[in-house]
Structure 1
Amino acid sequence: MSTIENFQFINSPLRLFHGDDSLRRLGAELDRLGCKRAVIFSGPFLEGVLLERIRAAVGDRLAGIYTGTLAHSPIPSVIEAADELRRLEADAVVAVGGGSVIVTSRAAAILLAEGTDVRSLCTVRDGSGGLKSPKLMAPKLPQFVVPTTPATASVKAGSALFDPETGDRLALFDPKTRAQAVFYDPTMLMSAPRSLVINASINTFATAVEGLVSRNGNPIADALLMHSIRLSGSNIRKLPTDDTAQRRGDLALAAVLCGQGTDHTGAGITTVLGHAIGARHEVDNGLVNAVVLPYVLRFNADSAPAGLSKVAAAMSLTQTGPGVLDAVLGETRRILSEAGAPTRLRDLKVPSEHLQEIAFASMGDWFLGGNPRKVTDAEQIYTLLDEAW
């Protein structure tokens, strides 16, 4: 008797508004949840026409504006943001910006609601090496997201914070902090520097590739990730010379597809190294991903033949069997090169003497569990880093 594959695909609801009229829906979405004191979160870039555009969309529901979010969401800035939500008696957060703004907004809502030390709220490894996230039961402020870059964070429920004192990366997870609605407005998307859009889109591309070759997955998640690769790969290589609102909008949708797909598949070493290097060395995660992805693909090749074939199909490559790896590596390098991405960690000013420390720090990242080839010790990571340096 034949059998079929067992899997579950349980997706969270997503209210997404895309295009010229998208921001006009923000007020109605706030009203839908009865929100009357919304606080806008952003970085210092939000001023002039952009600020007035968001103000108009929020209308008389605006309780205040916080512009103190920082790259990589360091813990002190998140605590400050939570204090600001408390002071303003907020009943909603409107996050305007890239991944760090979106993550800071979510994490601040968690700290505000739970009222305890951030480390007690984090995902940790249990005695068997598995991951355990505490159940954060307090109600959370609803999140409304207006991205300015193609950030996969827009549709996620996890929040990764950086501890500048220890160098640790802490993870908070609460499904109640998923965005109630996401608004892709062309004016906001065009406001970000092209370099930030390229870096964020490289992160999307690399993460989608990792999702397809991960240990997990199912046909529906695969479909999301394969189309994410098509959209991100075809657009980031053209963005340096042909930057349009349509292209940025497609890259934003690629980030949504990647964010939803990797909720089911996880990621792997490329994502882990982006985390480990990005905050420590003040480098955009996407640039780290661009450097290490080809090396990670080769590292994982023997453990992920089916995944590599899916990536090849997403890239419209025809090679099969033993030739798939070289074909995928060649196309990956072409896409990243045309996007203007770096090729070596030394190009990112990562000191070679820090590679060992980065390797050890990477071993504690929860995303390592999704890597198709099991990583047994930090020396494997160090060897890969040394090759990429």
Structure 2
Amino acid sequence: MYEFDAIQRNVRVHSGRDALAALPDEMRRLGARRAFVVSGRSVAAGTNLVDRIRGLIGDRLVGGFHAIRKDAPASDVEAAVAAARACQADLLLAVGAGSVIKAVRVISILLSEAAPMRDLCTQYPEGGAPVSPKLPAAKLPIVNILTAPTSAQNRAGSALKDDLGGARLEFFDPKTRPASIFWDADALMTAPESLIRSTGFSVYWRALMNVGTMVDANPLVQGDRSHAHRLAMRSLPRAVSTAEYGARIDLCAAALLQNRDEDDGGRPFDTHRIARIVYALAAPIFNRHDAVNQAEAHAALTAATIRMHGDVCPSVVSAIGRAIVGQGDGRGQDETAMSPAVVADVVEQQFRSLGMCVRLRDLGLETPDWGYVIAQAQRNFNADRAREFADETERRKLEQTLEAAW
């Protein structure tokens, strides 16, 4: 835990009432004169955020694309790239949550790199390790204006939905991290209860998974994970049920701490087997089924994964259970062990109390195609960097996990 490297990355965070008023100063700081705004249809049609931005920066807002759909389909991104290029944009404003924010990172890549989209994403050679292409070109600066809490806000990687039905298209470029992030109170309050529940739960789920390996983390990561869990646990119910913007900002802060976790030397996607399996199996489910979001897929898979794989990492599972029942936060070794079966029951009970389904069959899925899900899970770089899931024994365990979660 004491052998680590940490990187403190530059990003400005503007938070609170009328935080968006700092946008003109941010543009001046970045030397930008031609801003291009990207959002989904609901933000453009159902809020005044684009008008607020126009009122703040005037004719420096030169265009926009307002049709990014769930999970950022590649065709939406390509259309946005064409529109931004036609406007000669020199700054990208992402207004929204996860899908929009990760889409804008790829828009920045495609505006700068000369190769086709599918040559720029992570490659999976047959029988070999995944290869993330080097993307040397300078990138347009990005400003993220959040309408909901998301750990996408300060990352360098993005995954797009493949319109052709294949695996997600994964991109990584540190130069696409945002120059600034806005947690504007009014912008955050535009999100409906359903969106806050799903995005907030995703933040909480990651915080809960990270508690499982708190004891082995370095001192900086322990702080990130401990406080992210504390913020998410106390704020999620309030963010959904009240008109208090502070609870939503708390969730944004928890998500930013999850970003910092990795910069401080943590490996949040490699924390333990439970998190890796849920993450890998969930991605193809919510990418294929438009009616299912990431939070719902994670919630429906977690208990079954604990039951099927908890014996491999009993201390992790016990720490997760204790964090839920309030007997610890994972920073020390607690004498009270909790079995995988008990923890799975505790997880189900808590997730239900947060309004989440805990079975895949309750998400309105069609007849399950486990072969497709597993094939895509085996190509998830974040969850399986060493390609362990390609092993036939591992494949069978993944199939059994899906059957148990159904």
Q: Same fold (TM over 0.5)?
A: yes
The answer to whether 1:332 aligns with 2:347 is yes
* Structure 1 contact 225–261 (Cα < 8 Å) conserved: yes
User: What secondary structure is seen at the aligned counterpart in 2 of 1:166?
Assistant: coil
Residue 75 of structure 1: how far off its partner (Å): 1.0
Counterparts of 1:344 and 1:65, CA distance in 2: 39
The answer to whether 1:198 aligns with 2:200 is no
Counterparts of 2:242 and 2:345, CA distance in 1: 23
> Which residue of structure 2 aligns with residue 277 of structure 1?
285
Residue 338 of structure 1: how far off its partner (Å): 1.9
Counterparts of 1:212 and 1:265, CA distance in 2: 13
Cα-to-partner distance string for 1:91-125 (whole Å, 9 max, x where unaligned): 00010001111111111111111122112111234
* Structure 1 contact 236–335 (Cα < 8 Å) conserved: no
> Which residue of structure 2 aligns with residue 259 of structure 1?
259
Counterparts of 2:302 and 2:262, CA distance in 1: 16
User: What secondary structure is seen at the aligned counterpart in 2 of 1:124?
Assistant: coil
Aligned counterparts, 1:122-271, within 5 A? 122-125=121-124, 129-213=128-212, 217-262=217-262, 264-267=266-269, 268-271=276-279
Residue 350 of structure 1: how far off its partner (Å): 2.0
> Between the two proteins, what is the percent identity of the paired residues?
30
- After superposing the two structures, state which structure 1 stretch, 252-261 or 66-75, moved more: 252-261
1:241 maps to amino acid: S
2:384 maps to amino acid: G
- After superposing the two structures, state which structure 1 stretch, 44-53 or 146-155, moved more: 44-53
Counterparts of 1:320 and 1:168, CA distance in 2: 43
> Which residue of structure 2 aligns with residue 288 of structure 1?
297
> Which residue of structure 2 aligns with residue 343 of structure 1?
358
* Structure 1 contact 121–172 (Cα < 8 Å) conserved: yes
Distance 1:330 1:26, change over 3 A: farther
1:102 maps to amino acid: I
Distance 1:118 1:217, change over 3 A: farther
Residue 214 of structure 1: how far off its partner (Å): 6.6
Q: Where does the alignment leave 5 or more consecutive residues of structure 1 unmatched?
A: none
Residue 154 of structure 1: how far off its partner (Å): 0.5
1:257 maps to amino acid: L
* Structure 1 contact 144–180 (Cα < 8 Å) conserved: yes
The answer to whether 1:317 aligns with 2:304 is no
Residue 326 of structure 1: how far off its partner (Å): 5.8
Counterparts of 1:14 and 1:306, CA distance in 2: 35
> Which residue of structure 2 aligns with residue 19 of structure 1?
16
Distance 1:304 1:174, change over 3 A: same
* Structure 1 contact 309–320 (Cα < 8 Å) conserved: no
> Which residue of structure 2 aligns with residue 297 of structure 1?
306
Counterparts of 2:362 and 2:24, CA distance in 1: 45
> Which residue of structure 1 aligns with residue 331 of structure 2?
none
User: What secondary structure is seen at the aligned counterpart in 1 of 2:67?
Assistant: coil
1:170 maps to amino acid: L
Residue 35 of structure 1: how far off its partner (Å): 0.3
Counterparts of 2:304 and 2:336, CA distance in 1: 19
State the Cα RMSD in Å.
Answer: 2.6
1:35 maps to amino acid: A
Counterparts of 2:343 and 2:56, CA distance in 1: 44
Counterparts of 2:306 and 2:137, CA distance in 1: 41
Distance 1:152 1:272, change over 3 A: same
Counterparts of 1:297 and 1:367, CA distance in 2: 20
Counterparts of 1:97 and 1:260, CA distance in 2: 21
- After superposing the two structures, state which structure 1 stretch, 351-360 or 166-175, moved more: 351-360
Distance 1:353 1:202, change over 3 A: same
- After superposing the two structures, state which structure 1 stretch, 272-281 or 48-57, moved more: 48-57
User: What secondary structure is seen at the aligned counterpart in 2 of 1:94?
Assistant: strand
Counterparts of 2:359 and 2:321, CA distance in 1: 24
* Structure 2 contact 321–338 (Cα < 8 Å) conserved: no
Counterparts of 2:220 and 2:347, CA distance in 1: 23
* Structure 1 contact 98–149 (Cα < 8 Å) conserved: yes
1:346 maps to amino acid: R
- The match for 1:368 among 356, 360, 383 is 383
Distance 1:129 1:204, change over 3 A: farther
Distance 1:370 1:328, change over 3 A: farther
1:176 maps to amino acid: K
Q: Where does the alignment leave 5 or more consecutive residues of structure 2 unmatched?
A: 270-275, 329-333
Aligned counterparts, 1:110-121, within 5 A? 110-121=109-120
- After superposing the two structures, state which structure 1 stretch, 289-298 or 323-332, moved more: 323-332
Distance 1:279 1:138, change over 3 A: same
Residue 241 of structure 1: how far off its partner (Å): 3.3
Counterparts of 1:124 and 1:97, CA distance in 2: 29
User: What secondary structure is seen at the aligned counterpart in 2 of 1:358?
Assistant: helix
The answer to whether 1:37 aligns with 2:34 is yes
User: What secondary structure is seen at the aligned counterpart in 1 of 2:41?
Assistant: coil
Distance 1:30 1:114, change over 3 A: same
Counterparts of 1:219 and 1:312, CA distance in 2: 22
Cα-to-partner distance string for 1:45-77 (whole Å, 9 max, x where unaligned): 224532222222333421112112111111111
